[in-house]
Chain A
Amino acid sequence: MKYLDEYRDPALARRLLEELRRTAGRPWRIMEVCGGQTHTLVRQGIDELLPAGMRMIHGPGCPVCVTPLETLDRAMAIAARPGVIFTSFGDMLRVPGSETDLLSLRARGADVRVVYAPMDAVRLAAANPDREVVFLAVGFETTAPANATAVLHAARLGLTNFSMLVSHVLVPPAMTALLEDPDCEVQAFLAAGHVCAVMGWTEYEPIAARYRVPIVVTGFEPLDLLEGVLMAVRQLEGGRFEVENQYVRAVRRSGNTDAQEAVRKVFQVTDRSWRGIGALPDSGLELADAYAGFDAARRFDVGGLRPVEDPECIAGAILTGARLPTDCPAYGTRCTPRHPLGAPMVSSEGTCAAFHAAGRTASARSTP
């Protein structure tokens, strides 16, 4: 896997930064949609080496952060049931619900397990026919194909003890919602390379044209991001508003059609509430009627949930890029990775967690 070194070369990074400084004539505002990109930007300090006045706005692309509180509370109610093996990617275990989190439930005896792929949960269900195995299926278009494949596999095996609590979200509706906001400062987007590896970028072309914003499909290594920013700035300086692909080694315009087909077969588009942002029409995926038998929300009646957000957390403003973590009075004091008030401080892709991991404070910025 030699490619990593090539995309982390310090000398090339410096050359790209110099080129960016020569190219940028105005203090542009560019949003990286994806939380993975936010982490690379912040961990490397790239966002603080940009030309004077230019700013990266950290977007809502952290699937952990935007999973609705009601879904989390439902997950915990299901996980607390006797006989249930509750499975999830590790990030979701620490996200605070209204009352508790999955790890605390596990410490008290709930059978909560970290898996690395949804197929692991299917295998668990096959190996434990007397237990109900539930998988918490969250994420953007990136994780939907693997989750769809897991459902198809469970159906082929005839498993009746496997289900999914689904809270998938879609990127283009979120970008559209941000651009419709009259206060939106975003002048260009870096689109998430792994989302586009699945979906391609045809969905982004009407957005770029309608809202006159450059969109650059970008990878996740330091040099990917620097090149993505440079391509966006070149478009802005040249008055072009197109979709360009920086991530040529992984993304085609049409995406992965097999993966799209699996998603279309198993899921259907639905309205979705985004934590910290609110309800967005047609911005989520739910299990299609043909696979409703695998829907954990239908299978487990957990009664009336009354989710209560921590009133101090400004996750919504963070997720839309309107505020920085360091603008939040609770950041680093009442809200830390040890005691998170909201999801952006928990997830490895959360903007607050990224800032905290890099030791950022309102007064101590990274310095070149």
Chain B
Amino acid sequence: MTIECPTPRHEEEVVLLGHGAGGRLTEELLDTLVLPAVGETEGPLEDAALLPGRPDLVMSTDSFVVSPLFFPGGDIGSLAVHGTINDLAMRGARPLALSVSLIIEEGLPLSELRAVMASLGKAAQDAGVPVITGDTKVVGRGAADRLFINTTGVGQRHAPMCPSAANARPGDVVLLSGPIGLHGTTVLSTREGLGFEGDIASDSRPLHRLVHALAPLGAAVHVLRDPTRGGLAASLNEIARDSSVAVEIEESAVPVPQAVASACDLLGLDPLVVANEGCMVAFVEPEAAEEALTAMRSVPEGAQSVRIGEVLHEGPLGRATLRTLVGARRIVEMPLGEQLPRIC
């Protein structure tokens, strides 16, 4: 039994859950409908954008609709802070300030809202990022599911670091800061009562200190990505596509916690496409790889950093491949869409 991303066959007139899932359907929606309406910008779609005229500043916005509101390892409040901080960090920036907008469904117990806001406030304080503006809306019962949060952040780049999904180069080493699949499987297990909640917790956490540790390497850090919706598979495909390179990873090198592997086996999911909220992929120049690994391991959120692959000098451009456990090579497909709806 598995859960798969929605895909329409004959009907194209309505939005499906899969359109918000971070895979191919989301790409289609952006390319054909959203971006043409707002005026397309140059370059790849990144986690955060450099401000026009102020390339030292970075901006990002993200909405959080996770269900349930509370899960092992986090909640929608702390996730809303971590998610936007991490989007800024992936462009090599330290967070300067956040805005927080709440859309609350009538009937939400104040105790739950209080707990979410306390967690949100603590996460911002722990990260050293002030919340400087915001908005509150309440909608009628049924018009939203309990609570949605939008956070927008502004960050200051660690110059000369300027990582971008389009900067991967042949020879680059691919590093991963920790185990994959924890967030998606935790949220799903909690929501559906699958019983894995006791063994796993979301990896939701801020990654700006991990990026700060890499700052001394400057321009040797080519790409940073936190593989959220669509998981590692989506991130690697996006980087391969935007940089027009061939990325290859070693299956046996990718850390998958036992409980994640078990949950994925039960559900027919691939850990490579399950969302994360607290790990990072870094593409760095080969000469700087060891130094980068040491720097990443020097902070708690990167203690389990490993080398998982490289950018090939020859290979299928724009594609990510994987060396399997038995030594064969296969393409890592861009997921059609995340199989787990509303995980962030």
Interfacial residues, chain A to chain B (CB-CB below 8 A) = 1-2, 4-5, 8-10, 13-14, 17, 42-46, 48-49, 89-91, 93-94, 96, 99-101, 103-104, 106-108, 114, 116, 222, 226, 337-340, 346, 348, 356-360, 364, 366-368
Neighbouring A residues of B342 by C-beta, 8 Å? none
Query: A10 to B250, alpha carbons, bound, how many Å?
Result: 11
CB A250 to nearest CB in B, in angstroms, measures 13
A-B contact pairs, 22 of them (CB 8 A): A4-B262, A4-B265, A10-B252, A13-B325, A43-B330, A46-B328, A90-B2, A94-B4, A101-B7, A104-B8, A107-B6, A107-B8, A107-B11, A222-B326, A338-B336, A340-B7, A346-B4, A346-B7, A348-B268, A356-B333, A359-B333, A360-B330
Closest chain B residue to A345 by CB distance?
B7
Neighbouring A residues of B16 by C-beta, 8 Å? 103-104, 107
- Residue from the list A17, A44, A100 in contact with B11, Cβ < 8 A: A100
Query: A10 to B323, alpha carbons, bound, how many Å?
Result: 11
CB B226 to nearest CB in A, in angstroms, measures 24
CB B49 to nearest CB in A, in angstroms, measures 28
- Residue from the list A2, A116, A222, A368 in contact with B194, Cβ < 8 A: A116
In addition to A46-B328, A100-B11, 20 A-B residue pairs with Cβ atoms within 8 Å of each other are A2-B258, A10-B325, A14-B327, A44-B330, A45-B329, A49-B327, A89-B1, A104-B8, A104-B9, A107-B6, A107-B16, A114-B3, A339-B9, A346-B7, A348-B2, A348-B4, A359-B331, A359-B332, A366-B328, A368-B329
Interface core residue of A13, A104, A114 (most chain B CB under 10 Å)? A104
Report yes or no: A44 in contact with B2, Cβ–Cβ below 8 A.
Answer: no
Neighbouring A residues of B297 by C-beta, 8 Å? none
B183 at the interface (CB under 8 A from A): no
Report yes or no: A340 in contact with B330, Cβ–Cβ below 8 A.
Answer: no
- Residue from the list B3, B8, B25 in contact with A101, Cβ < 8 A: B8
Report yes or no: A45 in contact with B328, Cβ–Cβ below 8 A.
Answer: yes
Closest chain B residue to A361 by CB distance?
B331
B324 at the interface (CB under 8 A from A): yes
Query: A356 to B9, alpha carbons, bound, how many Å?
Result: 18
CB contact under 8 A between A104 and B333, given known A10-B327, A114-B3: no
B225 at the interface (CB under 8 A from A): no
Query: A30 to B316, alpha carbons, bound, how many Å?
Result: 31
Q: Which of B38-97 contact A (CB under 8 A)?
A: none
Interface core residue of B7, B252, B261, B336 (most chain A CB under 10 Å)? B7
Report yes or no: B326 in contact with A1, Cβ–Cβ below 8 A.
Answer: no
Report yes or no: B336 in contact with A337, Cβ–Cβ below 8 A.
Answer: yes
Q: How many residues of B contact A (CB 8 A)?
A: 43
Query: A62 to B319, alpha carbons, bound, how many Å?
Result: 29
Report yes or no: A90 in contact with B328, Cβ–Cβ below 8 A.
Answer: no
Report yes or no: B258 in contact with A4, Cβ–Cβ below 8 A.
Answer: yes
Report yes or no: A1 in contact with B7, Cβ–Cβ below 8 A.
Answer: no
Report yes or no: A17 in contact with B326, Cβ–Cβ below 8 A.
Answer: yes
Query: A242 to B333, alpha carbons, bound, how many Å?
Result: 39
CB contact under 8 A between A104 and B11, given known A348-B2, A359-B333: yes
Query: A91 to B1, alpha carbons, bound, how many Å?
Result: 7
B126 at the interface (CB under 8 A from A): no
Query: A17 to B328, alpha carbons, bound, how many Å?
Result: 12
Q: Mark B192-206, 1 if CB is under 8 A from A, else 0.
A: 101000000000000
Interface core residue of A13, A93, A106, A357 (most chain B CB under 10 Å)? A357
Report yes or no: B330 in contact with A366, Cβ–Cβ below 8 A.
Answer: yes
Interface core residue of A14, A90, A101 (most chain B CB under 10 Å)? A90
Neighbouring A residues of B14 by C-beta, 8 Å? 104, 107-108
B10 at the interface (CB under 8 A from A): yes
CB contact under 8 A between A90 and B7, given known A8-B325, A44-B325, A222-B325: no
Query: A90 to B6, alpha carbons, bound, how many Å?
Result: 10
Query: A96 to B16, alpha carbons, bound, how many Å?
Result: 16
Interface core residue of B1, B5, B327, B329 (most chain A CB under 10 Å)? B1
Report yes or no: B2 in contact with A89, Cβ–Cβ below 8 A.
Answer: yes
Query: A106 to B14, alpha carbons, bound, how many Å?
Result: 11
Query: A90 to B188, alpha carbons, bound, how many Å?
Result: 13
B15 at the interface (CB under 8 A from A): yes
Neighbouring B residues of A356 by C-beta, 8 Å? 333
- Report, nearest first, the 9 A-B pairs whose CB atoms are least far apart: A359-B331, A45-B328, A90-B3, A89-B1, A13-B326, A103-B6, A358-B330, A1-B262, A348-B2
Neighbouring A residues of B252 by C-beta, 8 Å? 10
CB B11 to nearest CB in A, in angstroms, measures 5
Report yes or no: B7 in contact with A94, Cβ–Cβ below 8 A.
Answer: yes
Neighbouring A residues of B10 by C-beta, 8 Å? 99-100, 104
Interface core residue of A13, A44, A346 (most chain B CB under 10 Å)? A44
Q: Which of B288-344 contact A (CB under 8 A)?
A: 316, 319, 321, 324-333, 336, 339
Query: A367 to B339, alpha carbons, bound, how many Å?
Result: 29
Q: Which of B163-205 contact A (CB under 8 A)?
A: 192, 194
Closest chain B residue to A359 by CB distance?
B331
Neighbouring A residues of B262 by C-beta, 8 Å? 1, 4
Neighbouring B residues of A101 by C-beta, 8 Å? 7-9
Query: A368 to B262, alpha carbons, bound, how many Å?
Result: 28
Report yes or no: A103 in contact with B8, Cβ–Cβ below 8 A.
Answer: yes
Query: A108 to B11, alpha carbons, bound, how many Å?
Result: 10
B259 at the interface (CB under 8 A from A): yes
Query: A45 to B323, alpha carbons, bound, how many Å?
Result: 9
Closest chain A residue to B321 by CB distance?
A359
CB contact under 8 A between A49 and B326, given known A93-B6, A107-B14, A116-B192: yes
- Residue from the list B7, B261, B265, B267 in contact with A337, Cβ < 8 A: B7
CB B315 to nearest CB in A, in angstroms, measures 11
Report yes or no: B326 in contact with A44, Cβ–Cβ below 8 A.
Answer: yes
B24 at the interface (CB under 8 A from A): yes
CB contact under 8 A between A91 and B330, given known A104-B8, A339-B9: no
Query: A2 to B258, alpha carbons, bound, how many Å?
Result: 7
Query: A235 to B327, alpha carbons, bound, how many Å?
Result: 26
